[in-house]
């Protein structure tokens, strides 16, 4: 039996096709989220990769910020639940998920048995989100994928005092004008995201195992800065960005099989 | 006796030369605030206009965000006190000052006798400050001075749901792409600043007479939107941007004359 999980975020659309609730048959990640054709394209891409057709899918669950706009799914499920399920599938001992997306930050706390017990979310302020990194990468004219290597060679990380994306942007511009090196500024940017994230995580409690999901999880520079801020290792998997879609596909499987 | 008040803000430097605590002899307003040569240039400009020299000045008070960097003044006084004194000089019945500067918003509540009794300040978030307007004017490719006239011809003001400057910028870009007219978007921007300001003023209490100071006070579009949000008239004077410097010059006069 094949189930489909779709996660429509603010900046990307993701799909996972799952066989019997355990085997990932195909996955896709398409740039473009809510309000674009990307969700449909992500579904088409996953189907094409798997060689399956829509008729082969027993149940579809859609999640993420854009889930209510996607009418053809069998069910909509909140992204927090799906992230918890997907995260726990990849890391069975997971207790804390830090999910930094393109426009929001979520921290989800799970019980020993994997039930969501608490969460914090910031989707009002761009500071500390993927958008903050986009703005900074734009100012520095670097690629997001360069951040990890640049931060690694910093010898004296800049200190960025403004939390606000707009004010921090000006601060970075003036630091560069005053001779700060790009690696040092990049390290300062990672520390800025980390300190904001860490204060959210500390409010909810740092229970190990901690993992990162969301697009920013791929960013090793930010991940390492958060590890340093929290003082605990942070698990990461190439599947991290697919936690929502994976959780949705598992939810779909459990729904049909009425797993409680 | 001539006293000098200097107000060093984040984006402009202002001076007032005052004779006998009541007559404005000269004033100046120079773009560029803390960390630039503008404070010195503002002093030089005021002196030049008045035909006076530094030796003619009995006492100098510096105020504003950048006051601690300006060592040659006789005294530093907090901007909230100076705004209160300057505002009250121009509007003797003033009870509430809304000061929107380049990078901050302050709301000051005065007692019947003019003493500062409460204040609220936001200097952490660019939303609702002059910087928010700068960013939006940049996106729309309009001048700040066009905002009032554009907002006045809006027939269906846009509604901007994001408070965050960064997210609101994206929202404005997509509204324009979806055919919203510039006047309607400009009116939406004024409403956004107004609703943010109004919620601060309401927290502190809307006691009339209410006036606006700070650079954004000149912006009639924003001023009118705040009047609408608060439901009270907002006094405004061309001296509004000089409240801090004027208050500092009066403070200097009172200091010498030991007015309590
Ligand atoms: S602090 Fe800056 S980034 Fe955060 S909401 Fe305000 S404007 Fe946006």
CATH number where B21 lies: 3.30.420.40
Q: Has this prediction a pTM greater than 0.75?
A: yes
B103/A167 CB distance under 8 A: yes
Chain B: give the shortest CA distance to residue A242, in Å: 24
The confidence score (pLDDT) of residue B259 equals 61
Cis peptide before B103 (omega within 30 of 0): no
- For residues B166 and B232, state if they share a domain: yes
The average pLDDT across B209-215 equals: 90
Strand order in the sheet with B234-235: B116-122, B105-110, B96-100, B210-213, B234-235
SS3 A68: helix
Nearest CA to ligand 1 atom 4: A125
- For residues B71 and B133, state if they share a domain: no
Contact B236, B217 (CB under 8 A): yes
- For residues A78 and A196, state if they share a domain: no
Taking 70 as the pLDDT cut, the residues of chain A under it are 259-260
SS3 A75: strand
SS3 A201: helix
How far, in Å, from the CA of B125 to the mean position of ligand 1?
5
B167/A135 CB distance under 8 A: no
**């960390």: which residue's tokens?**
B35
Chain B: give the shortest CA distance to residue A163, in Å: 7
Q: Which residues in chain B have their CB less than 8 angstroms from residue A125's CB?
A: 125, 164
The confidence score (pLDDT) of residue A258 equals 77
- For residues B107 and B227, state if they share a domain: yes
Q: How confident is the model at residue B218 (pLDDT cuts 50, 70, 90)?
A: confident
Tokens of B219: 């912006």
Residues 6+ apart with CB under 8 A from A211: A87, A90, A91, A94, A96, A97, A98, A234, A235, A236, A237, A240
H helix or E strand, kind and range, residue A80: helix A79-90
The confidence score (pLDDT) of residue B112 equals 94
Q: How confident is the model at residue B37 (pLDDT cuts 50, 70, 90)?
A: confident
Identify the burial level of B51 via C-beta atoms within 10 angstroms of its C-beta, where 0-12 means exposed, 13-18 middle and 19 or more buried: exposed
The confidence score (pLDDT) of residue A259 equals 61
Q: How confident is the model at residue B150 (pLDDT cuts 50, 70, 90)?
A: very high
Mean pLDDT (chain B) is: 92
SS3 A254: helix
Supply the range of the domain harboring residue A222.
Answer: 93-236
- For residues B69 and B130, state if they share a domain: no
- For residues B101 and B227, state if they share a domain: yes
- For residues B57 and B180, state if they share a domain: no
Q: Which residue of A has its CA nearest to B164?
A: A125
- For residues A122 and A232, state if they share a domain: yes
CA distance A68 to B130: 36
The confidence score (pLDDT) of residue B188 equals 96
- For residues A78 and A98, state if they share a domain: no
Residues 6+ apart with CB under 8 A from B75: B59, B60, B61, B62, B251, B252, B255
Tokens of B193: 């600043």
DSSP secondary structure string for all residues of chain A: -EEEEEEE-SSEEEEEEEETTTEEEEEEEEE--TTSSHHHHHHHHHHHHHT--GGGEEEEEEESTTGGG-TTSSEE--HHHHHHHHHHHHSTT--EEEEE-SS-EEEEEE-TTS-EEEEEEE-S--TTSHHHHHHHHHHHT--GGGHHHHHHT-SS-------SHHHHHHHHHHHHHTT--HHHHHHHHHHHHHHHHHHHHHHH--PSSEEEESGGGG-HHHHHHHHHHHTS-EE--TTGGGHHHHHHHHHHHHHHHT--
- For residues A229 and A121, state if they share a domain: yes
What are the tens digits of pLDDT across the range B89-148?
A: 999 999 999 999 888 999 999 999 998 899 999 999 999 999 999 999 999 999 999 999
What are the tens digits of pLDDT across the range B175-193?
A: 999 999 999 999 999 999 9
CA distance A157 to A135: 19
Phi, psi of B23 (to 5 degrees): -100, 120
CA distance B20 to B32: 29
What are the tens digits of pLDDT across the range B8-34?
A: 988 899 999 999 999 999 999 999 878
Tokens of B97: 């000052």
A164/B125 CB distance under 8 A: yes
A166 Cβ closer than 6 Å to some ligand 1 atom: yes
For chain A positions 104-143, those within 8 Å of chain B (CB to CB) are: 124-126, 131-132, 135
How many structural domains compose chain A?
A: 2
Chain A: give the shortest CA distance to residue B164, in Å: 6
- For residues B229 and B109, state if they share a domain: yes
* DSSP H stretches of helix in chain B: 38-50, 79-90, 130-140, 147-152, 165-177, 182-204, 220-230, 243-257
Phi, psi of B74 (to 5 degrees): -75, -25
- For residues A171 and A111, state if they share a domain: yes
**Which of A78-82, A155-159, B213-217, B240-244 comes out lowest in average pLDDT?**
B213-217
Contact A65, A8 (CB under 8 A): yes
Q: Taking every pair of C-alpha atoms in chain A, what is the biggest distance, in angstroms?
A: 62
CA distance B247 to B243: 6
């Amino acid at each position: 039996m094949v189930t489909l999980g779709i996660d429509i975020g603010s900046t990307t659309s993701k799909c996972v096709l799952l066989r019997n609730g355990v085997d990932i048959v195909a996955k896709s990640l398409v740039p473009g989220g809510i309000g674009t054709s990307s969700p449909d394209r992500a579904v088409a891409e996953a189907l094409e990769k798997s060689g399956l057709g829509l008729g082969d899918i027993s149940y579809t669950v859609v999640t993420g910020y854009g889930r209510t706009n996607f009418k053809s799914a069998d069910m909509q499920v909140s992204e927090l639940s799906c992230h918890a399920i997907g995260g726990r599938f990849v890391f069975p001992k997971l207790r804390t998920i830090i999910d930094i997306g393109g426009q929001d930050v979520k921290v989800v706390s799970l019980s020993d048995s994997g039930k969501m017990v608490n969460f914090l979310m910031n989707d009002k302020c761009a500071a500390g989100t993927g958008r903050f990194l986009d703005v900074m990468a734009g100012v520095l004219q670097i690629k997001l994928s360069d951040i990890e290597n640049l931060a690694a060679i910093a010898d004296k990380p800049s200190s960025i005092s403004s939390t606000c994306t707009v004010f921090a942007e000006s601060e970075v511009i003036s630091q560069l004008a005053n001779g700060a090196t790009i690696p040092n500024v990049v390290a300062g940017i990672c520390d800025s995201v980390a300190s904001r994230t860490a204060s959210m995580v500390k409010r909810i409690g740092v229970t190990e195992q901690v993992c990162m999901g969301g697009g920013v999880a791929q960013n090793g520079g930010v991940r390492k800065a958060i590890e340093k801020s929290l003082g605990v290792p942070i698990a990461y998997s190439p599947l991290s960005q697919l936690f929502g879609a994976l959780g949705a596909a598992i939810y779909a499987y459990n729904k049909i099989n009425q797993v409680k």
